[in-house]
Amino acid sequence: MHLQRVQVPDFRVLKDVDITFEHDFNPRVFPLGSQNGGGKSTLLQLIFILLHCSTNPERLPALKNLLSGFNLREEEDKKILAIIDIWEGEKLVQLEFFVCQDNYINKALNLTGKEEKKLAASFLLFTHLQELQQKISGFQNQENQLKNILRQFENRQSSSSPYKKFPDDLKIELLNLNINFDSIEIEFSDPNFLSRIEKETKAKLQNEHRKIEIQSQVVSEFIDEMLMLLKSENIEYITVYPSLEEGANNRALLCHINNLDMDAAKHFLSKLSNKIFLAAPSTQVFLFLSQKSRRSLFRNSIDYYSDLMRANSMLSGLFTYNLLAIEIIIAAFKKARDSDFKEALETGEYGNNYKKLLNDLDFLTYDKQINLTTDFSGITFKINRFTDTVELYPEDLSHGELKRLNVYIWLKSQYIQDAIVLMDEVDLALHPDWQYQIVSDLVEWEPSNQYILATHSSELCQALTPSHVKVLEPKLTQRRSE
């Protein structure tokens, strides 16, 4: 996979961006520079979120957070968010991500004036279907609530002064289940009135559930028809998100796909989502979080970092390299150990994966040795000085050493190959010599990847030809997308 071109007309600080990353350049490493606040981080995050989240429902909250504030002007039916060209090895696939409202879809699908079809082309249906599906998922809980209500009534009837009518407080609880007890004809003089009440209330609840299931089926059929019409225009539906404008309808994010058969589009986008990665400082990963979380970074609050941890758990391609990723290093050692053991089972001799990993890590930190603790719960850093072996503490390792170690172990442990790797501020904390060397490091660690590096480092840029270096020019225009 290779990201060949990205165009962003107007998103936050990004205005009229058009950058090409040539797929035939060698090495495939592209520094991306700009002034402070010029949009390097924003561009990488936009590319990552669009490509990483579009086909995975669990990742859609991050995508919706990014879209927050990206609104249409009053006269607009459609607004392009980004156009991304991907070289997939044999041909160029163009992905045009755009936001629109119902009017655009009805015009694009030529449905204007066809009222029954216009209903099918309303993005409100997606929200309605989600609401219905949430209700369906709560059916079991409602059945348990009804059992509890009936049990309460039965317990009260077994007391010394049984009720001659159904209690008002339990009637209210039944109304919460859309069951109107007063519509049930029950004679309390009937010796079987308890079983009659149970039978009638359960029947009404099941009837309510059936109505919701039918509604869900009808809405699903409308949506399926709409998606088929979109596919006929080479458009893939991504998600709906609420507009921040008062009184405005929901917006939808769609993707117009060029030079690819639509039957293969979903598979292509899914494959691409697992071939896009972003490494960045945690304080720079703003766009994945809600506006509330973003603002909490400027307050005495832990919301930002707790929400960032949740985002990390959802976004498998995201890596923040502020701290030493102990769990990743431990996992790498365990994988190397398991690979050696597998080779022993297959060939009768242990492999050299564990030893090679030790040597690679020792080389990264020069005079320091890294290994697992005997209980596999942590790692140790040691330095050999003649005959003495001195164990090191965290403060004995520089920030630059930890940064370089983190990047290496992340690439290796996640088996990141033939991928698009976006890296924000990778040069921070590195000595100028290491900033220059990081280009050759990345190519050596995994040459099959494309690397796009947001940077201010002239040393890093000097490690490549001037044609490799891409620049976001400052745009002295008003922020228009909000």
Residue 324 pLDDT level (bands cut at 50, 70, 90): low
Confirm if 238 and 255 have CB atoms less than 8 A apart.
yes
Percent of the chain whose pLDDT exceeds 90 = 20
Comparing 14-18, 33-37, 117-121, 427-431, which segment has the lowest mean pLDDT? 117-121
- pLDDT at 95 (0 to 100): 95
pLDDT of 325 higher than 70? no
Check residue 91 and report its DSSP letter: S
pLDDT at residue 231 tops 80: yes
Cβ-based neighbour number of residue 114 at 10 Å: 13
Taking the C-alpha atoms of residue 15 and residue 82, their distance in angstroms, rounded to an integer, is 11
- Alpha carbon of 268 to those of 94, 110, 238, 402: distances in Å? 12, 28, 14, 36
- 152-166: b or e for each residue (b if 16 or more CB lie within 10 Å)? ebeeeeeeeeeeeeb
- CA 258-260-261 angle, to 5 degrees, is 125
Domains of the chain and any CATH numbers: 113-232 (no CATH), 319-455 (3.40.50)
Q: What are phi and psi of 216, to 5 degrees?
A: -60, -40
Most confident of 53-57, 82-86, 413-417: 82-86
Q: What is residue 42's three-state secondary structure? A: helix
Helical spans, DSSP H, in 274-385: 291-296, 303-314, 326-347, 353-364
Range among 189-193, 354-358, 459-463 with highest mean pLDDT value: 459-463
Residues 290 and 450: their CA atoms lie apart, in Å, by 30
pLDDT, tens digit (0-9, with 9 covering 90-100), for 395-409 = 666 777 777 878 888
- The single-letter code of the amino acid at 244 is L
